[in-house]
Amino acid sequence: MSHHFEHPRDLWRAKEPRAAYDVVIVGGGGHGLSTAYYLATNHGITNVAVLEKGWLAGGNIARNTTVIRSNYLWDESAAIYEHSLKLWEGLADELDYDLLFDQRGVLNLAHSLHDVREGTRRVNANRLNGVDAEWLDADAVKEFCPIVNTSEDLRYPVLGATLQRRGGIARHEHVAWGYARKATELGVDIVEGCEVTGIDVASGRVRGVQTSRGPIAANRIALVASGHSSVLAEMAGLRLPIQSHPLQALVSELLEQRLGCVVMSGAVHVYVSQAHKGELVLGAGIDSYNSYAQRGSFHIIERQMAAAVELFPLFSRAHVLRTWAGIVDVTPDASPIVGLTPVEGLYVNCGWGTGGFKATPGSGWVLAQTIANDAPDSLNEPFSLERFASGRLIDEHGAAGVAH
């Protein structure tokens, strides 16, 4: 018999939209809900509506592989993700919801001298930024995660790994529902089945939105709709530097616990963890074409499973139970855009690419700050839209994987 998790008896109640709000948040996903929550708790702003086109938290918050870590290379990224990780560390208590947040450690494997160099660089940068990071050699990798294939016969042998022990996983819908529950308790309106069809702009500032359930006035509007950001921004006349791609993930059937940490590999491209219930949760790279359809191509999955079996021979007879895709918004430097726009009162939070889940608390926290003050927090200031004009990019693609 397995342990069965029970959610609280009360979550949130669907609301009819009112005619006007102080703040309208477009997008009822993880980031939108955390933004509403922090507006209410940190800034006392509760006359807020979260508008969701479909069912609440049904986008990428429901579709990701729940990896949480903060070991980013650049100072700006490390700062915002570390802020987020610190929020994660107190979040279950704060939301009074068991998020199944488990700091079981995140390994990032190195398979080439180039990977080793980049991994070392990252560990050094993390350490000096105050982010926990360790370099493990292949033997230490085996010790930390015995089921990883560290044999030298591997096509790309494991040469070592970075380890962030504070990294881990959480249960995605618990996070979204926890924010939704608290936000509604504080007076935020959650409106489901409410699609934004237009953004009213007059004299350079926002006035409200048109929706499938009628117009809603607001002087401050935040677009927090990953996978659809560029479509929404265009309604306000903004062209965002965003490419939208499908990103697929999958789970296995329920299996006895075998994998006690998160393992990521860039060269043998897959990332995997085992959820508390027992299913293996896996993801890999984005589909290369642009799309808004939440489905991907199966050859990506084939490739990913080959990588999984290569790294974990044990997984050979595990089964893919379910695959799905979310749409990720990718910026030219693979870093998010969080902040003001040229339209007064209109804020964007997008472009988190494949890394949005782990940022859920931090992203909402800084966006709430930005909305409340009509000015960015120091944490999200570097992630401005203007950086694409100035060239002050925060390139998190990592090194290009090229060598003579």
Partner 1 sequence: MKRLAERGRVDRSRALSFTFDGRSFSGFEGDTLASALLAEGERVVARSVYHGRPRGVFSAGRDEPSAYVQLGEGPRSEPLQQATRVELVAGIVARGLAGVGSLSDEPDTDRYDKLHAHCDVLVIGGGPAGSAAAWAAGRAGARTILLEDEAELGGHLLGVPPSAPDTAARAWLDDKIRELASFAETSVATRTVATGLYDGGTVYALETRKRPGDPASAHRIARRLWQIQAREIVLATGALERPIVFSGNDLPGVMLANAGRAYLNRYGVLCGQQAVVFTTNDSAYAGALELVEAGCRVACIVDTRDDPQGELVARAQAAGVDVRVGSAVAIAHGGSSVEAVDVGRLDGESATAPDLERQECDLLLVSGGWDPQAQLARHVGARVLARPTGGGFSVDVPPRRTALAGACNCTFALSSALLEGIGAGERAAAARGFSAPPEPAPEVDEPLAEAPRPVFFVAPPDGDLSRCYVDLHRDTTAADIKRAVGAGLTSIEHVKRYTSAGTGADQGRTAGVNVAAVTAELLGAPLSEVGLQNARPPTVPVAFAALAGRNRGEMYDPVRVTPIHEWHVEHGAVFEDVGQWKRPWYYPRGDEALDAAVLRECAAVRASVGMIDASTLGKIELRGPDVVEFLNRMYTNAFDTLAVGSCRYGLMCTLDGMVFDDGVVMRVDDERFIATTTTGGAAAVMDWCEEWLQTEWPELEVYVTSVTEQWATVALAGPAARNVLARATGIPLDNGSFPFMAIRDGAVAGIPARVCRVSFSGELAFEINVEGLSGLSLWEALWEAGQPDGIVPYGTESMHALRAEKGYVIVGQETDGTVTPLDLGMGWIVSRKKPQHFVGKRSLGRTDTNRPDRKQLVGLRPTDPSARLPEGAQLVLDPDQPVPMRMVGHVTSSYESAVLGSTFALALLESGSDRNGEIVYAPLVDGAIAAEVTSPVFYDPENERRDG
349's enclosing H/E stretch is: strand 346-350
> Which residues within the stretch 203-262 sit at the binding site for partner 1 (CB under 8 A)?
252-256, 258
> Which residues within the stretch 13-32 sit at the binding site for partner 1 (CB under 8 A)?
13-14
- Does residue 263 interact with partner 1 by CB under 8 A? no
Query: Do β-strands 160-164 and 106-110 pair in parallel, antiparallel, or remain unpaired?
Result: antiparallel
CB of 118 to partner 1, least distance (A): 7
CB nearer partner 1, residue 301 or residue 359: 301
CB of 391 to partner 1, least distance (A): 3
CB of 205 to partner 1, least distance (A): 27
The region of 64-72, 231-239, 301-309, 370-378 touching partner 1 under the rule CB under 8 A is 301-309
CB of 203 to partner 1, least distance (A): 29
Residue selected from 332, 344, 372, 381 as contacting partner 1 according to rule CB under 8 A? 332
Tell me which residue has tokens 């429901």: 62
> Which residues within the stretch 111-170 sit at the binding site for partner 1 (CB under 8 A)?
111-114, 116-125, 127-130, 153, 155-156
Contacts for 332 with CB less than 8 Å, ≥ 6 apart: 241, 388, 393
- Does residue 390 interact with partner 1 by CB under 8 A? yes
CB nearer partner 1, residue 44 or residue 391: 391
| Single-letter code of the amino acid located at 250 | L
Interface with partner 1 (CB under 8 A), residue total 93
The region of 194-202, 225-233, 289-297, 355-363 touching partner 1 under the rule CB under 8 A is 289-297
Q: CB neighbours (10 Å) of residue 209?
A: 28
CB nearer partner 1, residue 173 or residue 344: 173
Residue selected from 27, 29, 30, 58 as contacting partner 1 according to rule CB under 8 A? 58
In this structure, what token pair is assigned to residue 29? 């996903």
210's enclosing H/E stretch is: strand 205-211
Tell me which residue has tokens 């100035």: 390
- Does residue 44 interact with partner 1 by CB under 8 A? no
CA distances from 361 to 31, 65, 89, 222 (A): 7, 16, 10, 16
User: CA 369, CA 38: separation in Å to the nearest integer?
Assistant: 8
Shortest CA distance to 175 belongs to which of 79, 272, 52, 32? 32
Q: CB neighbours (10 Å) of residue 215?
A: 15
Residue selected from 263, 318, 338, 348 as contacting partner 1 according to rule CB under 8 A? 318
